[in-house]
Structure 1
Amino acid sequence: MPTTLWGLPVHPLVVHLVVFLIPLVVLAALVVAVWPRARKVAAPWVLGLATLGVVSVPMATSSGEGLEKKVPHTALVEHHAELADGLLPLVAGLWLTLAVIVAVAWYSRRAAAAPRWAAAVTVVAAVLTVGASVGTAVQVVRIGHSGAKAVWHDVGTERATGR
């Protein structure tokens, strides 16, 4: 992945996709998990959004690794990179729980009668979706905060103004 685009680092550009998309997926997944009517209508669409989210995270990580080689190595940058490495498993877990919800609904609609296990599997998947959503949201906030802190930590201080 290129490290610059039109003279700007690619990482901040790609990160804004993740910062918009992942919270949107989290909110939509929560709606699908707790509202059965929304689950019937929106679950496949939310799974599609989650798929885009799963794809966008490695793009952000890859562009971040490229940028990391061009900026001074600091503890703040290192902390941000470590936190970012933990996002993909969370987003993938959220995707998996949504995929189970969609698959069970699809199977149940095609069966002559909904299998007895379908309701139980859906409830378990919904509970796991809520947990994965909360974990993902917390991690996105932590990553975003650490990235902003790494970039802007000395803005407005005496050291930044040269005094």
Structure 2
Amino acid sequence: MTTVNGLPAHILLVHAIVVLLPLSALLLVLSALWPAARAKLALPNAILSVVVVILVPITTDAGEWLERRVARTPLVRTHTELGDTAIWVAIPVAVLALLVWWRARETTAKARRTFLAPASTAVTVVLAALSVAAAGAAVFDVYRIGDSGAQATWQGQVGTAPAPGGH
């Protein structure tokens, strides 16, 4: 995907990642720490987090297409390199969201086999700690990538004085 209505697809797709990856990270933490939230949010978040993992490479591919059409500056290079890290924070969020959902499923199902020890407090604590760490890493990475993209796009483009004819 290269353009949408004449605009580079990357600048539209990136908004999905900026909203959905932190949202999935937040839902992961809620689901991992709060049993009532887990019952309601684990499955929708598992689906959402997998969608995010699918969207990240589509967004980075659109970004690479755009990168070949703008001036190659150190700020653009930094943004591109940081953008390549998004998949590495989206995958753990998705894997953990799937594990939290599966474990919630095992808790409510009368399954003969329970692979993720739904009654184990130790497994619950480890899964919760990993979820908090993965969510924090994802949110921080989205912030770094977004900030570098804003710097690459806007640094030096806005003056301190109003433009002539501006309000």
TM over 0.5: yes
Does 2:97 match 1:117?
Answer: no
Residue 135 (structure 1) aligns with? 137
Q: What residue identity is the alignment partner of 1:145?
A: D
Secondary structure of residue in 2 paired with 1:71: coil
Which range is displaced more, 146-155 or 15-24? Answer: 15-24
Return the TM-score normalized by structure 1.
0.88
Residue 12 (structure 2) aligns with? 13
C-alpha RMSD of the superposition: 2.1
Paired residue total: 158
Secondary structure of residue in 2 paired with 1:110: coil
Which range is displaced more, 103-112 or 41-50? Answer: 103-112
The offset of 1:117, in angstroms, is: 3.3
Secondary structure of residue in 2 paired with 1:154: coil
Q: What residue identity is the alignment partner of 1:37?
A: A
Structure 2 portions without partners, runs of 5+: none
Residue 25 (structure 1) aligns with? 24
Return the TM-score normalized by structure 2.
0.86
Residue 95 (structure 2) aligns with? 96
Which range is displaced more, 82-91 or 110-119? Answer: 110-119
Secondary structure of residue in 2 paired with 1:117: coil
Separation (CA, whole Å) in 1 of partners of 2:53 and 2:144: 18
Structure 1 portions without partners, runs of 5+: none
Which range is displaced more, 52-61 or 66-75? Answer: 52-61
The offset of 1:157, in angstroms, is: 4.4
Separation (CA, whole Å) in 1 of partners of 2:116 and 2:93: 24
Does 2:128 match 1:126?
Answer: yes
1:113–1:86 distance in 2 versus 1, CA, 3 Å: closer
The offset of 1:116, in angstroms, is: 9.2
Residue 148 (structure 1) aligns with? 150
- Report if aligned partners of 2:28, 2:96 keep a CA contact under 8 Å in 1: no
1:71–1:121 distance in 2 versus 1, CA, 3 Å: same
- Report if aligned partners of 1:97, 1:126 keep a CA contact under 8 Å in 2: no
